[in-house]
Amino acid sequence: MRNVLMISTDQQQMKAMGCADPSYRTPRLDQLAAMGVRFTGAISASAQCTPSRAAWMTGKYPHKVGVNNIGHVLDPQEWGIAKAFNAYGYETVYFGKWHLGLTPADHHFQVTDYRTDGLELDGAREDSRFHSHRDAVTTTQALNYLADYEGDKPFFMKVCWYMPHPNTPEDQPFEYLPSYAASFPLAEMPVPDSFYADDLSTKPAFQKQRAEKAESLLTEAIVRRDAQRYRAMLALMDRNLGRLLDQLERKGLLRDTVILFTSDHGDMQGAHRLRLKGVLPYKELYNVPMILYVPGHEPHRKIIPDLLSSAAVPGTLLAAAGLPVSESFEAGSFLQLLDRTERPPEEAVFFEHYKAYWGFHPFRGIQTAKWKYVFYYEEELEELYDLEADPDEIVNVASAPAHAAIRSSLKSRVDQWWEETGGLTREPIVDPTNPWGRDV
């Protein structure tokens, strides 16, 4: 049985890596992609921290387990990934951001803390309130665990970093890391094409309202500053990743360890004149990085565009370790994509969102190779995008008569999925320490 290491960031776009966009500098993440496979069609089950992480844990869509938004608690009675690996004799380890209520130990992770001697900040903040500092601690815990590892039993370890998630005691949402920001001159920072192209006139009215107030009242200067800080945080993340890869190599574990790298959701980064995240359906939020390295497995394709759901992560990790995937992990596994030679003619993935700190606009959606359809079920609003003709999702064609048939068909499919998976029938458990759903 192989060891398994899952590494996650928070709020990282799919293209936020050097091998996909040269404005980023992530040589170690690029190395991991070269070792394994990079999936460009990975869609988050929900573009919000807590629901997305619930899907990672259970292999089910967030609403199925009653975790619809931040402030909801994942029921510890749910069958989850740690319990599955424990059943096969693994030592299960969790370091870093949790954000599911209770603790990882309540979900049967065996090791949830470790020594932090040898802590190296590498340009991270000394103030423990900052995410860069928290990630330095998490990285040190993982490095020390690996240093002490003697191979008595295989391990399943989750390393969950906070960066590049914004959360800073300062005025700006993204951390400023001077030693890394210097590599990203403000004048060279890109502004998304949709910042200029989309006036939001074809979109639900709340999107334009959001773009014209609070922290989303953007200028080019703000977008470039966010881009600089975002890239700087990911450069530091990449350094932490490199330290983990080097430790695996030193211990002789790299050829026996499955590695999956992903993020819970993305960040708007000024696309469509919008900032951060929320009840928005755009690719900047839903299309997440997904890299899988399976030792000894030679895939037919190194970059795979096939659609997949982040809810399939736990099943994939079990399958990659050579273990059976229980039917409890309803989203299954995407390991079989490594053996395909081309994209299938028919594919679809579902996604959802409930509410954000700035508004309640719940939706359910479906994406195919050509179309993305979103239904706001409390407001009876719709969005439809022809992803082949309009990959940046500029023009909402839901009301166009020429697309009425496909709109109706996609609505039927997403409504059927919603009904078959229980809709909102699962009563959430509210976290008493975070009843208002504050993000962290």
Taking only the tens place, the pLDDT of each residue in 403-415 is 999 999 999 999 9
**pLDDT in the model for residue 285:** 98
Query: How far is 25 from 180, CA to CA, in rounded Å?
Result: 10
- How far apart CA 62 and CA 66 sit, in angstroms, is 6
The answer to whether the CB of 314 falls within 8 A of the CB of 392 is no
What is the residue-averaged pLDDT of the chain?
Answer: 96
The residue written with tokens 């001159």 in the block is 185
Q: 84 is written with which tokens?
A: 């599955």
Each residue of 48-72: pLDDT tens digit?
999 999 999 999 999 999 999 999 9
Nearest in space to 166 (alpha carbons), one of 356, 7, 359, 11: 11
For tokens 């922290």, the residue is 215
> Are residues 75 and 108 in contact, defined by beta-carbon separation less than 8 angstroms?
no
- What are the CA-CA distances from residue 348 to residues 75, 117, 150, 254 (Å)? 28, 47, 43, 34
Q: Say what percent of the chain tops pLDDT 70.
A: 98
Q: Which residues of 46-84 are buried (b: 16+ CB within 10 A; e: fewer)?
A: bbbbbbbbbbbbbbbbbbbbbbbbbbbbbbbebbbbbbb
Q: Report the pLDDT value the prediction gives residue 435, as an integer from 0 to 100.
A: 62
Sequence-distant (6+) residues with CB within 8 A of 310 are 42, 43, 44, 45, 52, 55, 56, 262, 264, 288, 290
pLDDT value at residue 433: 78
Q: Say what the pLDDT of residue 327 is.
A: 96
The percent of the chain in helix, strand and coil, each rounded to the nearest 5, is 35, 20, 50
Q: What is the mean pLDDT of residues 387-400?
A: 98
State the Cα–Cα distance between residues 182 and 186, nearest whole angstrom.
Answer: 9
Query: What pLDDT, on the 0 to 100 scale, is given for residue 97?
Result: 97
Residues near 201 by Cβ (< 8 Å), separated by ≥ 6? 208
Structure tokens, 256? 């026996």
Assess contact for 210 and 274: CB atoms under 8 A.
yes
User: For residue range 276-290, what is the model confidence (pLDDT) as tens digits?
Assistant: 999 999 999 999 999
Residue 270 vs residues 337, 365, 386: alpha-carbon distances, Å:
33, 22, 21
Mean pLDDT confidence for 401-428: 97
Give the global pTM. Answer: 0.97
For residues 147-157, average pLDDT: 97
Radius of gyration, alpha carbons of the chain: 21
Secondary element (H or E) of residue 162: none
**8-state DSSP, 15:** T
Contact predicate 136/127, CB 8 Å: no
pLDDT of residue 170: 60
Answer yes or no: is pLDDT of 291 > 80: yes
Give CA–CA dist 372/382, Å, rounded: 11
Q: What is the pLDDT of residue 27?
A: 98
Residue type, 73: V
113 by Cβ neighbours in 10 Å (0-12 / 13-18 / 19+) ranks as: exposed
- Per-residue pLDDT tens for 178-234? 999 999 999 999 999 999 999 999 999 999 999 999 889 999 999 999 999 999 999
Sign of CA pseudo-dihedral 39, 162, 61, 374: negative
Q: So what's the pLDDT on residue 438? A: 65
Task: Please give the share of the chain, as a percent, with pLDDT higher than 90.
Answer: 95
Distance CA(48)–CA(67), nearest Å, equals: 11
Contact 429, 75 (CB under 8 A): yes
Helix (H) or strand (E) holding 434: none
Question: What is the pLDDT confidence band of residue 268, given thresholds at 50, 70 and 90?
Answer: very high
In this prediction, residue 432 has a pLDDT band, given cuts at 50, 70 and 90, of confident
Work out the number of other CB atoms within 10 angstroms of the CB of residue 119.
16
pLDDT at 172: 81
Mean pLDDT score, 249-255: 97
DSSP state of 387: T
* C-alpha span between 105 and 107 (Å, rounded): 5
Residue written as token pair 């008493």: 432
The predicted-structure confidence for 104-119, as pLDDT tens digits, reads as follows 999 999 999 999 999 9
pLDDT computed for residue 167 by the predictor: 78
Residue 169 pLDDT greater than 70, yes or no: no
339 against 439, higher pLDDT = 339
Would you state the pLDDT for residue 431?
84
Query: What separation in angstroms does the CA of 126 have from each of 24, 115, 116, 129, 347?
Result: 24, 18, 14, 9, 47
Return the exposure string of 196-219: e unless at least 16 CB atoms fall within 10 Å of the residue's CB, then b. Answer: eebebeebbebbbebbeeeebebe
For 324-334, how does the pLDDT look when each residue is reduced to its tens digit (9 = 90+)?
A: 999 999 999 99
Q: Which pLDDT score, from 0 to 100, does residue 434 have?
A: 74
Q: Which residues contact residue 269 at a Cβ distance below 8 angstroms, ignoring those fewer than 6 apart?
A: 13, 192, 223, 226, 227, 230, 275, 284
Determine the pLDDT at residue 321.
98
Q: What is the pLDDT of residue 437?
A: 62
